[in-house]
Structure 1
């Protein structure tokens, strides 16, 4: 059995696909299977995939376009490795990515899901997400702070709890999953940049931003409900100002409703003890101060 299963759905990624595939096949860590799902690509991606000659690659050609979530879940069903690594067909994994993530997971058996820092191609500064489980869980109430293409997952935990992506949350399926499992799966992020992330007009998040925003909204409302809060439309608007770092401390009409919502969140959490109180307080303070993590 391989140590790692890499899951990569592909749909019309031809301009970037060779580089993405090569970045996995040339990893310093070699003990993996590479599950590539060709979801009926029409742009030449299928021909690129057909040209790969590496015994670690398992190419699955779908008879019809199944969509990202179905491919991800099929990958979870098929994965034989101790660990599952996510990859997208338009990104680039750095050569030591899998090795460093496997070393971290081997050394931290309580962690079930681990992401990394990443660098958006064309931007000056890398993105370093919160590192500890307590910080990640608290920030998930506002942001998706586990970057999906960077994650490694412990297969035994995924199978034991039958953790799968939920098709009811299209284009925010990762955000929904992290929030759903955060109460019983330990999460972490590594501070090293181990992936180059590519933004372009053809990617799913660019084409379906309104659907993605609606899915993310429903995740946030569900998590507030789980905390015992049922926000009015006005209160949820205030919550979204936290999400967008859009609170103006110098404008009383903007600041005081935000302060009141923060106190409501902290009080309700002190009752339900769903989040680490210090981590939640820090996240709220940084949102108000417009200081992203």
Structure 2
């Protein structure tokens, strides 16, 4: 007697989404085993949208591949990366994607609970002149604990002219982008060691309108292993300034220096290889994750004070002190903010930022 074949597994909504995704979420990853499982699951938790998650494993030597192999979801696809940096990895993910709309989630960040892609997709469906829609974002520490909501604006807006002028207000991870616009600009530019996401935002605005929908659409993790904190400060500033300079050149009607094949020469070394110790003279390191977290909390406390949320301001200042108590030079400013918060009357109905 021949064996009776096992019944086929019933098809699920995830199977249907994997077969015909409208949205492809791009996740470049390298040695992200400590974070990528939660990051991937936050994307796959999005409801009501046919999506796929395309992870480019860009030469990981830790347990990244094993973590991804443990996620049983047909919408997750893992492809090998080119090992030529973040821009090349992001472009490889886009090339492998099948959706008509693209979003980005870094391997150490989260999509927020509650879903953000559905409303963004609906807005783009209703606005064929728009090439992308962005949102707000919040920061979290290395352990995933909330820090502060960034002040990116509380009202709907059109960001197009800001971006064409080289001014960015939010994180690329908050964006949903038409694939046609991504392909028109050629994706991320590999010349950028950092700020490739800011450059991409500005160039996408040259293809059509970029809309802004308020509310947290992304959770950004601060930790010292990220490129933001490993890159020498002067070099990181150089690439940030290049975004604005190139945008100004395009706004004046011509190609930018990178398009002309004559980009400026970056200063110094690309990274500080000495680890957590002092940088070499002339090569100051970027802010540590603790210092950046303290800055985010102090800014949020300032907004709470301005809005009359005295108790919230004091709570945030306490967390700011705890984030980096060794930062003696900031103590005076923290004390001034605390005094200001205590002297202001309570009130205000704005949400805590």
Tell whether the 8 Å contact from 1:137 to 1:179 is kept in structure 2 after alignment: no
2-structure distance, mates of 1:34, 1:139? 27
Query: What are structure 2's unaligned runs of at least 5 residues?
Result: 1-19, 141-145, 254-353
Normalised TM-score (structure 1): 0.70
Aligned partner of 1:178 in structure 2 is 201
Aligned partner of 2:325 in structure 1 is none
Q: In the TM superposition, what is the alpha-carbon distance from 1:136 to its structure 2 partner?
A: 4.8
Query: For the aligned residues, what is the CA RMSD?
Result: 2.3
**Structure with higher RCO (Cα < 8 A, 6+ apart):** 1
Aligned partner of 2:59 in structure 1 is 40
Counterpart of 2:59 in 1: which secondary structure? coil
Tell whether the 8 Å contact from 2:149 to 2:216 is kept in structure 1 after alignment: no
2-structure distance, mates of 1:154, 1:139? 17
Q: In the TM superposition, what is the alpha-carbon distance from 1:69 to its structure 2 partner?
A: 0.6
1:145 aligns with 2:163: no
Q: In the TM superposition, what is the alpha-carbon distance from 1:151 to its structure 2 partner?
A: 1.2
- Identify if the C-alpha distance between structure 1 residues 227 and 2 changes in structure 2 by more than 3 Å, giving closer, same or farther: closer
1-structure distance, mates of 2:163, 2:202? 10
- Identify if the C-alpha distance between structure 1 residues 210 and 14 changes in structure 2 by more than 3 Å, giving closer, same or farther: farther
Equivalent positions of 1:10-25 (< 5 A) are: 10-25=29-44
Counterpart of 2:248 in 1: which secondary structure? helix
1-structure distance, mates of 2:236, 2:167? 13
CA deviation profile, 1:62-90 (whole Å, cap 9, x unmatched): 3x623211111112222211211111111
Aligned partner of 1:8 in structure 2 is 27
Q: In the TM superposition, what is the alpha-carbon distance from 1:93 to its structure 2 partner?
A: 0.6
Aligned partner of 2:125 in structure 1 is 106
Aligned partner of 2:95 in structure 1 is 77
Q: In the TM superposition, what is the alpha-carbon distance from 1:30 to its structure 2 partner?
A: 4.3
Q: In the TM superposition, what is the alpha-carbon distance from 1:131 to its structure 2 partner?
A: 4.5
Counterpart of 1:46 in 2: which secondary structure? helix
1-structure distance, mates of 2:152, 2:178? 22
- Identify if the C-alpha distance between structure 1 residues 17 and 172 changes in structure 2 by more than 3 Å, giving closer, same or farther: same
Aligned partner of 2:319 in structure 1 is none
1:214 aligns with 2:244: no
Aligned partner of 2:109 in structure 1 is 91
Q: In the TM superposition, what is the alpha-carbon distance from 1:172 to its structure 2 partner?
A: 1.1
2-structure distance, mates of 1:163, 1:186? 18
The aligned length equals 226
Counterpart of 2:202 in 1: which secondary structure? helix
- Identify if the C-alpha distance between structure 1 residues 186 and 227 changes in structure 2 by more than 3 Å, giving closer, same or farther: closer
Larger helix proportion of the pair: 1
CA deviation profile, 1:161-193 (whole Å, cap 9, x unmatched): 253211122211122122233233211221011
Tell whether the 8 Å contact from 1:69 to 1:173 is kept in structure 2 after alignment: yes
- Identify if the C-alpha distance between structure 1 residues 2 and 30 changes in structure 2 by more than 3 Å, giving closer, same or farther: same
Query: What are structure 1's unaligned runs of at least 5 residues?
Result: 230-293
Normalised TM-score (structure 2): 0.59
Higher-Rg structure is 2
2-structure distance, mates of 1:127, 1:205? 20
1-structure distance, mates of 2:186, 2:242? 19
